[in-house]
Amino acid sequence: MGYPDRIGGWFVLCMALLAMPLAAAQQLPAPVRQALEHAGIPMQAVGVQVQEAGADRVLAAANPNTPFNPASTMKLVTTGAALDLLGPAFTWKTAAYANGVLRDEVLQGDLVIKGGGDPGLVVEDLWLFLREIRARGIREIRGNLVLDRSLFAPDGHDPAQFDGNPARPYNAGPDALLLNYKSFTLRFLPNPAAGRVALAIEPPLATFQVGAPKLGDGECGDWRKNLLMAQDARALEFGGAYPAACGEQTLQVLAWNMSANRYFEIVFRRLWADLGGVLAGEVTEGATPPDAWLVAQRESRSLAEAVRGINKFSNNVMARQLLLTLAARFTGQAGTATNGAEVIKTWLAARHIEMPELVIDNGSGLSRDGRISAGSLARLLQTAFRGATMPEFMASLPLAGQDGTMRKRLNGHGVGGNAHVKTGYLSAARAIAGYVRAASGKRYAVVFLINHPNAGRGAEAQDLLLKWVYENG
């Protein structure tokens, strides 16, 4: 045998040896394959990557470079970038400015509320903020209440566009002065003795009417389907019947048929009046005048806390707020989803994370257009694992069998309590991505994406993979 032939032989042998672990990895565990087959999900509809955290070893993979719709696991991209770029202690600031003279508790001019993009500003926060404004000596506002939303660019958000369900809170759009996720909480309180249903609403509202449905008979069943809801800027009315057998129930409703200014107004007027305040003028929108003076400022909870809400409970509007915060912070322009996506892509390039197929869209995963591969998500998880904000990032993920969207999954198995896993679910997409601490003590990055009409039946296969990693990793 000549020298060139020996080189050729060794080359073929080496390539074969290198390919063996990869080929083996491409074979998903038999129980996982069987569960997919039983669910009617073909292998080409799944993307999987299981890799030892902080190492190169791949334990299992299938179509790792194929782009998939990741559903809410896209939030890992948004939150991972934000933690690294802004830091876990970052906070949003909501400020109040006076544009006029204050004398004897009367502001002869406008009060301006400037939004800082806080994704978690709820009614309790606004009440405390208004108390601070009252403590600074303002009781009566003779001018207008001006709402400054200029930190984010208007995007013409349509809450019905995604799935035709505009009343669902997950369809809320981003807003630099977002309040209470622009939602109501309704409590249905049946009173069979009186033959009626009482309806309680939170937050407390001024000049807004709520009409309860009739009291119905029969079994409870899916009581929401029996209700007909009509909403405008002045009232929320229910037709249909609410079965007495349902007892007390709660319903979250997005104020979809109401402007953001109107929603803020009816909450503000009620809280301000309860604090003894008076607003003589109207509620308008505009920029903060350059000569207005600062009255009070309120800091939000930390980014680390916000990220826990985003990932553990898959809060879509908070994720969208975060994407626009990145845009405004790092471009110096009014935040848009497009600019936010560019900020993240610049960050990925700086961290040497290759994601050529990435389509971020709105940053929440509530999208038909978002795309990422299992391999890319695994690389993101690896980067986060090695990064300074790893503790905050991992702690934000649902803990299997214990909290968040994984609370009811994997109870009674060893992997319960040992897997931090973000979930995602759309009509034709189901996804998990996160970390598993195996029985061996090693930790693994796990990604399992499914895009198929039968994706809703794929949870068993995903849970079986998590169990397998725990037992065999």
Residue 436 resides in a domain: yes
Residue 4 resides in a domain: no
Beta bridge partners of 178: none
Dump pLDDT digits (tens) for 270-311.
999 999 999 999 999 999 999 999 999 999 999 999 999 999
pLDDT, mean of residues 106-117? 99
Question: Which one of 234, 268, 300 terminates a domain?
Answer: 300
Dump pLDDT digits (tens) for 423-473.
999 999 999 999 999 999 999 999 999 999 999 999 999 999 999 999 999
183 and 37, same domain (yes or no): no
Q: Supply the mean pLDDT for the chain.
A: 94
296 and 309, same domain (yes or no): no
Would you state the pLDDT for residue 13? 37
Would you state the pLDDT for residue 4? 39
Dump pLDDT digits (tens) for 49-68.
999 999 999 999 999 999 99
Residue 9 resides in a domain: no
Residue 97 resides in a domain: yes
Say what the pTM is: 0.92
136 and 268, same domain (yes or no): yes
438 and 341, same domain (yes or no): yes
- What's 241-266 look like in SS3? EEEHHHCCEEEEEECCCCCHHHHHHH
234 and 136, same domain (yes or no): no
The three-point CA angle 444-411-397 to 5° equals 45
- Residue 467's CB is within 10 A of a number of other CB atoms, namely 21
Which tokens in the block code for residue 309? 């809400």
Residue 10 resides in a domain: no
Dump pLDDT digits (tens) for 54-107.
999 999 999 999 999 999 999 999 999 999 999 999 999 999 999 999 999 999
Q: Are 466 and 436 in contact (CB under 8 A)?
A: yes
Residue 13 resides in a domain: no
Dump pLDDT digits (tens) for 359-388.
999 999 999 999 999 999 999 999 999 999
Would you state the pLDDT for residue 14? 38
Quote the CA–CA distance of 181 and 186 in Å, as a whole number: 14
366 and 442, same domain (yes or no): yes
Would you state the pLDDT for residue 26? 55
CATH (domain of 348): 3.40.710.10
269 and 345, same domain (yes or no): no
Quote the CA–CA distance of 370 and 121 in Å, as a whole number: 27
146 and 286, same domain (yes or no): yes
291 and 316, same domain (yes or no): no
Domain that holds residue 209: 169-254
Domain count, the chain: 3
CATH (domain of 148): 3.50.80.20
Residue 2 resides in a domain: no
Instruction: Enumerate the H helices of 297-371 as residue ranges.
Output: 303-312, 316-331, 337-350
